[in-house]
Structure 1
Amino acid sequence: MGASESKLTFKEDVFRLAREDNISADSQWWAQFYQLPESSDDVFALWSPADVRNLTQSSASSPSSTQGLPQKNLETLIYVCVARLEQLQIKRCYADPHHPIAQEVLNCVRILTRLLPYIFETDRLHEWERRFFWEPRKPTQVWDKKHNRPGEYFDGLNPAKKFADEDDSNAEIGAPLGEQLIDLLVQYLFLAGFTLPKRLDSESLPDLNISFHIWNSGIGCRQSVGMTRENERNAVEVIRLLLSLFSRQLYLPPQIVAEIDVRSLSHMTAKPDRQVALSVICSLLNTVLKYNPASWRVPVELTAEGDSKAKLANLSLDLLLVLLMYPDQKGEQNAYRKSLGRLHRVEDFQFIQQGLTTVLMQPISGMSSYIPGQQKQVPWAPEMLILFWELLQVNKRFRSFIIETDRAHDFVVLVLFYAMSAKDQPPKQGIVRMCVLILQTMSVEPAFGSRLNKAFVGHDSLPSVLRITNFHGSYADFLITSIHTLMTTTQGRLESIYPALLAIVNNIAPYVRDMQRATSSKLMDLFISMSSPTFLLEKEPNHQLLMQLLQAMDAILEHQAAANRRFVEVVFRCRKRFKALRDFTVEGAVAELDRLAQERKDRGETGAASGIRSPTARQGSIDSVRSPVSARSPHLGNVPEHEAFAIGDDDDDEDADVNGLSSSTSFTAPLSASTSVVDEAVPLQSRSMTERARGKQPVGQGNFSRSTSRNTSTSSLPALITQPTSASQTSTNSFRPTPEWLDTWLPHLQLYGISKVIQDEHFRSSQDTAAVPTTTTEHPVLTASPRVQAFQWTSLSLGWYLGLLWGLVYSSDVAANRGINGIWTGTSIKLFGVLSSGGGGISLRSPRGAVDAVGDAIASRIGSLSFNSSQTTREV
């Protein structure tokens, strides 16, 4: 809209909509709304949030029977836009066949995109929305202001069609309006001259027939249709309206979002025409996978905002994921998930793998910026990770293609890169969770664990966030060390996924060979932290993490002991730690905590002695349990290593301390450098035991009982602690450890295999004190089928997953459309919280319920389970 006068006139007519209700539907006055605006900015600027919200309120002049409904003008405006979209597409309403239809189509699309979020956010309108959009269409009417009575009934999409008979007022005159709108929009995605190149018919007139041609070459198509920039911009506008229609999920709480039937998504995904579904999914998928950021010689952040190809790729990915992730409530199969699951050609999988890698590799390759050395992430890289996870879940052939080849190594590195890059950024903790669950999904396949034994020769070329000092070893060493880093340097921010991290170790443990000494020390490091009285007595379910870790260690020794001599050596050197765990008693542990608290009090650390936590400490940090009181940076490079087992120490003297770890790295010893050396002959938690308790201890080194349960599952959310506490306050919650509680899990720890290895090593050392036997190349036979710990979906975890996706969609829209031009900017979103940052940007904050939901869901669904495809594939 050019002149200021025309904009003022248009704005005055927008005001009139709210001020003067029940404007006649057959008036030509309505046409200006889809004829005058010239850009999306015009529509979003002239329809302010206040203007739209005024339309959602009941008119003061409306009769009492219509109170609680939106103004009639809102219904009429929606009817006008949908009717015009239908006329322009189907009825060839222009006398001049060469008249461009794009501008009017786009304005109708923009108005509806603006209106829908404000309808969804208003709880009072939910019942009206259901009837107006999703029940079969019936005649409507406006109030006859001249005679102060209800007007005659008419067809909302065709006001000229009247219904004089009162009985016709309840007749069904068409399909639900929402379904008609979705069908129209899908057809507009394949309309020649709008989203596809112009075509001429036999009479040299524009061909307006719908042709469901796939946009780009790739899956299902060998030749692109050749979309112009105008076609791409038009497709972007249509996809924005589809996302606006589907965003009903944004205005549902995370606890129930997966359980609510969103009619727009149900109609789109449940029973579409097969040809339509294939054309839509192939067009979206090919557009996403063919986009190559490296081919553009401008920074990625500029292309994402200003380039039509980048915008189309981003929004195509968002729409594709929203369709794929919808769990239909009526048991109908999601046609898009079904289509994705049926892909089977190797060339298709290669095309998918190349497209995923191209985008995910951008920050590693450093090809996305003019500035030398500056690495930029493609804005929709997190959504590409979601797409990768969806493909792993829904298509077992693709999962085998990735895992049973060396491509699995590349994706392990890529997924860990995004996890490590986001682990210290609170707004991105959802990305870390997703990355961990991707790795868990991959780890349930036996071939994955076996292929991780390949030597990692390209480690030195990795970005700094991934590099490990003096690293040498296999991909398994790299993965386990990275897991250790995620658990020990995040100060408890990731406590809800500690079970998932340990599940990955459990799943690969039976297949890991030739584990390096540094990696072995990492596992022992976690064991010492988790078996300490401080940790075990803090929260009731904390022992379940210890049980998971012991299962992994036992699996290594049961299946690959001969191929992991370094790990066996580390276990033998820490044998007193395992005996201390076997001799663990509640009263002895409490006495030990009292002694530590008293020593801190004697040093003047009154806060710690009285159980008061540091305000800067985060509850749930393994790192804080194992850290000295003195301040240090919580990074892997600063984590104290066991003296004989530090990274790069493989060539250290073999005569290092074999009686256990040094006192400087003892995590159950007093946390002070000046503490006197304690008697290593008595386990720490046994030092204050009563004579009665001591009498119950078995005689002899390594006398452990066999586990009576080998299928322990993590059934509740573990919470890790920050500082040791006194006996008078061993927990900040209502949990009080008792001997009866201890008996429920201590006898069932999987310590038999570890005890057997320690006994064998003790015998060997007594027979030959010269050296520990060298690594053997013998391939041991697996004595039993390894159990895996697979992730299973619940409504709570799916609610978190949908919140993560919609948070990314929302952030992408805000980044591309500043101010009030965002689709959902300023609306009352319930799925997550939106916080404004000091720099004018936004950050997303999940509601407390969402955080609890994903934590509980992840912890409760991880156990010792036999893997099959249904355990990682959501049934939809």
Structure 2
Amino acid sequence: MGSADSKLRFRSTVLRMGNSIDIPTDSSYWKIFWRDPESIADVFELITNAELRAIRERNQKNFLNLVRIVTYRLLSLASDSRFPSEHVSEKELLNCCRVLTRLLPFVYELPELKPAEKSMFWSLSFGYATTSFHKLNSANSDSATVGTDMSSHTSSGASTKVRLVLACVQLLFTRHFTVEAKSEALGTDYSIWEPGIGCSGAFEPPSTKFDANRLEILRLLLTLVSQCMYNTPKTVTDQGSRYLTCLVGATPRLQMLTLLCSLLNTACRVSRNPNENGLVFLSAPAMELRHLTVTYSIQLLVIMVVYPIPQDVLFMKQTSITEKNPHNMARYFLGKIHKEPEMKFLCGSLMSILVNPVSYTAEQEASSAFTIMKKSSGDPPTWALEIVILLWEMFQCNKHFRGYISRAPSTELSTTLLYYIFTYRNVEVYSGFVRVCAQFLLHVSSDTQFSTQLLKTFDLQQYLILPQNFMLTSKGDVGTYRDFMVTQLSTMLQNDNLEAEPANALTSTLVEILYNLVPIAIPEAEATQINGGQSTTKRTPYGGLSYQACNSLTQLVVRFSSAQFLLVPGNSDLLALVVSTICHSITRHTKASRTLIFVIARNHALYKGVLQSVNTYKPMEVEEEPEEVEDHVTDSDDSRPPSIRNSISSPRPELGQLSRQNSFGDAPETTEVAVVGEFDKEINQALRAVQPVGMSLRAKGKQPKDAPLSQTWPGHKALRYILATVELLIQEIPEFNAFTALESIRILSRVELFDYAGVFGRLALAPEYSRATEWQPLRFAWSAMALGWYESIIWGCVFRANELIKGKCLSKNASKLEAGASWFGWGKNAASAESQAVDLPSRVLLMSTPWVETQFLLFSIKQQSKTGLRNGYDMADSLIRRLSDFRLTKRNSVSSVNSVASDELRIDSPVASQFIPSRMASVGSNHTPRNSISSAGVYSGIQTRKFSNE
């Protein structure tokens, strides 16, 4: 359809479906959908979303018949042993994929169509008969018999949509279509796309043809399983997606292993240098094509691994898909990776994607121009959200990976996660990404093996290559990684506007991370083993907190005890958590806590003031800020997060914001208005860690209604223990009132040797603070609502992937990369000759997402203001993109009525910032919707060799 006339004819023909006349299923009319379109733009842009809805409403039968007939045609072509060849058209199959990608969101969005969709595609009476349909639908047939009455087709053992899912997997490994073949033989070849897990070898330049075909199939697969987008966060884990259930639960072992390894290795390849990562092309469309293929590969992998099997699985038994309850085999197989080289490859590749923007050496600055260009944008890495989620999932489902990353990479991972929280916590468009980082950091901080590694001394060389604004403001020793994290967390919590109402939803999670970090210490018998045989510094024996970290912690206590802070509902619990973790550290590790006790004793009056503030607190009272802590670290402007330009959409909800990177990188953004959803309170409650004794909802429910804070504050016991201990210490060491700096070491030694056991015996410590009981860190527990939030973030990321890649990776960097290719010769090794073609990529690239303007419920869209200066940028950007598209395609086109300027779209979070503490079910509980699979199963682990049918 190169000419405008042919496009108009196609458009008018399609609109005939909206007439009152039912089109027979055996009419030649249906052939236009797989024979006429030349590109995906023909399918998406010639008919608007409003016109598709009008067709659906006026003649639902025609609309559903189109979906069904195109599905059958795709299955017929995919099952033909001659595909792809001149006898079985590759173009027709791709057009079938495009039409289904276009239509399925409009099937999913309408609840009234669910019964019809289940009847058509999940009932055996409407099943797909390979023999009969193939005979009627032969590729060589010129007859008009597309199909007779579909209800007459008998089933060959599985429903239509199961076959469609499996056909898509098969098409991803079809010779001469998506994988290379050494001979002219056709059919499937289950060989892994890239070297890495399950396959060894050298990296080859990516094939534009294979990438284009893979992109079409991956996009269809994502659309097929996107039913999840049309459920609310509260119901998505129960409802799920039948297609996704079949994909992760019914795909045969060989296909599943090959698919997982291909997707995983594709994700890992992007961490390589520019000559090997396969991302650098001289042609902007080819570059966009490769980036999108990588993006959809990573996102499909994440969706498969995260997916919890829903309650709706009876259909799998009814349609003979399986006789047993299905399990998420993608998650199972990922949990079976165990060999040391595989762990090193996975961890090194995934961590490299996250760490490169945080710390890079002077040598990298000089040699890796591509990396520097990415860093200059001020945005997180392109796939940062997906990689963080993948690391989190691997940490949960693979004990071998958990053990590996809890060793050497633990310090690098925790520092990197903290950096992203520090840098982007106040940038609304990254709220979802930051929240995932925070929840992941909370999860790993509750793991004893992981957190103990943070007691290592911070490597000076690693510290010096951190971004300047992320370094500590004071000079001198950094101390341990735990010291650095405690100081940064305390500083962040002090600098943020915590009196705002509703309070920042991130604050509670940061306090919970702090709660987990403070009380950890090295057992005396192991004190020389943590740092590779070197003991910790004399000033902080047994991994105790440094002086700077203790000072920051004390400042935070004072900050949290202010009347302005306590006015916000729930903030008194945050103060109680900080005081409680200090008490745990003192009562459980007295020798390691000597510096902390020293600092508290020096600021004894301030801690007494905290108790007085709580006891005399009145809801409407606002007092002056308490005096500053002695010898505190001075805050500076460098400690604040830098301004972020060129914001991209945040990983989905906190149901994050959706935006496409503007072609004009410095164009100003309009003010965003937060939209509060109906699930805010439940999501915030679900994301809270299981609270300690006395702070759960059940404990609060037993308190008198409207009782003053002096009677209900859960930190009373901890603060009284701290004050009583310090007061007895001061009586024993009167020099606390006045001593010189030279005498501080002697005072610290006396603090360490003080008789704490006798003091604690007299105080009769509560069981939760006694050494006789095991300290319990705060653990994040999965629930249905928490998983709903999690999935909404992932699907929001999928929703805006197309515009993110188009805007961030191409519009901004294309000219720089051309220069880089010229200067450094990237194009010689990173791109093949066919990658320079413009026509092939342009036929498969979309201007917008397949789900745009559909009524999804998992997250919400916020319209951006179109007033002021921004409007001029939007108009210019839209015009340039259209002119660029005209230049690249070199053909006439009909203006797209439904072309959406993606700058107008934002994913908005339905999550309010107020937290409500809640006791969730244990992670190991049977009530958690995460599908726990025993290692004793039918399937064996992944072998590190190429899979094939042979």
Correspondences of 1:146-165 after superposition (within 5 Å): none
The equivalent of 1:485 in structure 2 is 491
Correspondences of 1:606-621 after superposition (within 5 Å): none
Counterpart CA distance in 2 for 1:870 and 1:494 is: 33
Considering only aligned residues, what root-mean-square deviation do their CA atoms show, in Å?
4.0
- Call closer, same or farther: CA 1:589–1:827 in 2, change over 3 Å: same
The equivalent of 1:361 in structure 2 is 355
Stretch of structure 1 that moved more, 338-347 or 816-825: 816-825
Contact 2:28-2:146 at 8 Å conserved across structures: no
The equivalent of 1:229 in structure 2 is 208
The equivalent of 2:64 in structure 1 is 75
The equivalent of 2:108 in structure 1 is 120
Counterpart CA distance in 2 for 1:543 and 1:862 is: 21
The equivalent of 2:651 in structure 1 is none
Secondary structure (helix, strand or coil) at the match of 1:91 reads: coil
Secondary structure (helix, strand or coil) at the match of 1:452 reads: helix
Counterpart CA distance in 2 for 1:309 and 1:172 is: 39
The equivalent of 2:931 in structure 1 is 875
- Post-superposition Cα deviations, 1:750-778, rounded to whole Å, max 9, x if no partner, equal 64255224422431235996444355699
- Post-superposition Cα deviations, 1:63-110, rounded to whole Å, max 9, x if no partner, equal xxxxxxx2x22233223322222222223478x954573222211111
Higher relative contact order (CA 8 A, sep 6+): 2
The equivalent of 1:711 in structure 2 is 693
1:716 CA drift (Å): 9.3
Stretch of structure 1 that moved more, 827-836 or 640-649: 640-649
- Call closer, same or farther: CA 1:127–1:741 in 2, change over 3 Å: farther
The equivalent of 2:342 in structure 1 is 348
The equivalent of 1:652 in structure 2 is none
Correspondences of 1:201-212 after superposition (within 5 Å): 206-212=184-190
Correspondences of 1:382-397 after superposition (within 5 Å): 382-397=385-400
The equivalent of 1:531 in structure 2 is 561
Secondary structure (helix, strand or coil) at the match of 1:22 reads: coil
The equivalent of 1:461 in structure 2 is 465
% identity of equivalent residues = 24
Corresponding residue to 1:191 among 165, 174, 184? 174
Stretch of structure 1 that moved more, 332-341 or 354-363: 354-363
Correspondences of 1:658-697 after superposition (within 5 Å): none
Corresponding residue to 1:289 among 268, 291, 297? 268
- Post-superposition Cα deviations, 1:447-504, rounded to whole Å, max 9, x if no partner, equal 3332222222132321234222125222112111222233233324873343332222
- Letter matched to residue 180 of structure 1: R
Counterpart CA distance in 1 for 2:82 and 2:450 is: 60
The equivalent of 1:400 in structure 2 is 403
Stretch of structure 1 that moved more, 809-818 or 787-796: 809-818
- Call closer, same or farther: CA 1:538–1:738 in 2, change over 3 Å: farther
1:351 CA drift (Å): 0.8
Contact 1:517-1:645 at 8 Å conserved across structures: no
- Call closer, same or farther: CA 1:225–1:125 in 2, change over 3 Å: farther
The equivalent of 1:824 in structure 2 is 851
Corresponding residue to 1:787 among 776, 793, 797? 776
Counterpart CA distance in 1 for 2:519 and 2:98 is: 56
1:6 CA drift (Å): 1.6
1:783 CA drift (Å): 6.3
**2:486 matched to 1:504?**
no
Correspondences of 1:322-337 after superposition (within 5 Å): 322-330=303-311, 332-337=326-331
1:187 CA drift (Å): 0.6
The equivalent of 1:806 in structure 2 is 795
If you compute each CA radius of gyration, which structure gives the higher value, 1 or 2? 1
Secondary structure (helix, strand or coil) at the match of 1:511 reads: coil
Contact 1:134-1:263 at 8 Å conserved across structures: no
Q: Which runs of 5+ in 2 are unaligned?
A: 139-144, 312-324, 522-542, 637-690, 758-770, 808-845, 865-869, 875-900, 933-950
- Letter matched to residue 195 of structure 2: S
Stretch of structure 1 that moved more, 110-119 or 754-763: 754-763
1:810 CA drift (Å): 1.1
The equivalent of 2:8 in structure 1 is 8
- Call closer, same or farther: CA 1:15–1:293 in 2, change over 3 Å: farther
**2:410 matched to 1:422?**
no
Counterpart CA distance in 2 for 1:271 and 1:5 is: 46
Correspondences of 1:586-735 after superposition (within 5 Å): 588-590=616-618, 594=621, 642-646=629-633, 711-715=693-697
- Letter matched to residue 835 of structure 1: K
The equivalent of 1:278 in structure 2 is 257
Correspondences of 1:830-845 after superposition (within 5 Å): 830-837=857-864, 838=870, 839=874, 841-842=903-904, 844-845=906-907
- Call closer, same or farther: CA 1:186–1:373 in 2, change over 3 Å: closer
**2:292 matched to 1:311?**
yes
**Paired residues, what number?**
719
- Post-superposition Cα deviations, 1:198-225, rounded to whole Å, max 9, x if no partner, equal 353xxxxx43322222211211222479
Contact 2:18-2:56 at 8 Å conserved across structures: no
Contact 1:45-1:820 at 8 Å conserved across structures: no
Stretch of structure 1 that moved more, 519-528 or 839-848: 839-848
Q: Which runs of 5+ in 1 are unaligned?
A: 60-69, 141-152, 201-205, 600-625, 628-639, 650-708, 719-734
Secondary structure (helix, strand or coil) at the match of 2:470 reads: coil
- Call closer, same or farther: CA 1:314–1:828 in 2, change over 3 Å: same
Q: TM-score, normalized by length of structure 2?
A: 0.68
- Post-superposition Cα deviations, 1:814-847, rounded to whole Å, max 9, x if no partner, equal 3346986421112222211222444552554445
Contact 2:218-2:297 at 8 Å conserved across structures: yes
1:582 CA drift (Å): 4.7
- Letter matched to residue 190 of structure 1: F
Counterpart CA distance in 1 for 2:281 and 2:436 is: 24
- Call closer, same or farther: CA 1:93–1:190 in 2, change over 3 Å: closer
Secondary structure (helix, strand or coil) at the match of 1:38 reads: coil
1:15 CA drift (Å): 1.4
1:28 CA drift (Å): 2.8
Contact 1:30-1:77 at 8 Å conserved across structures: yes
Stretch of structure 1 that moved more, 736-745 or 319-328: 736-745
Contact 2:124-2:154 at 8 Å conserved across structures: no
- Call closer, same or farther: CA 1:249–1:585 in 2, change over 3 Å: closer
Correspondences of 1:553-564 after superposition (within 5 Å): 553-564=582-593
- Letter matched to residue 121 of structure 1: E
1:33 CA drift (Å): 1.7
The equivalent of 1:631 in structure 2 is none
Stretch of structure 1 that moved more, 175-184 or 76-85: 76-85
Stretch of structure 1 that moved more, 119-128 or 387-396: 119-128
The equivalent of 2:97 in structure 1 is 109
- Post-superposition Cα deviations, 1:301-332, rounded to whole Å, max 9, x if no partner, equal 99798344322211101101111111112364
Secondary structure (helix, strand or coil) at the match of 2:862 reads: strand
- Letter matched to residue 500 of structure 1: T
- Letter matched to residue 858 of structure 2: L
Contact 2:617-2:709 at 8 Å conserved across structures: no
Corresponding residue to 2:547 among 514, 517, 531? 517
1:240 CA drift (Å): 0.5
- Post-superposition Cα deviations, 1:167-215, rounded to whole Å, max 9, x if no partner, equal x869767632221211111110111111111353xxxxx4332222221
Counterpart CA distance in 1 for 2:715 and 2:68 is: 68
1:358 CA drift (Å): 2.5
Counterpart CA distance in 2 for 1:138 and 1:222 is: 44
Contact 2:18-2:58 at 8 Å conserved across structures: no
Q: TM-score, normalized by length of structure 1?
A: 0.74
Secondary structure (helix, strand or coil) at the match of 1:57 reads: helix
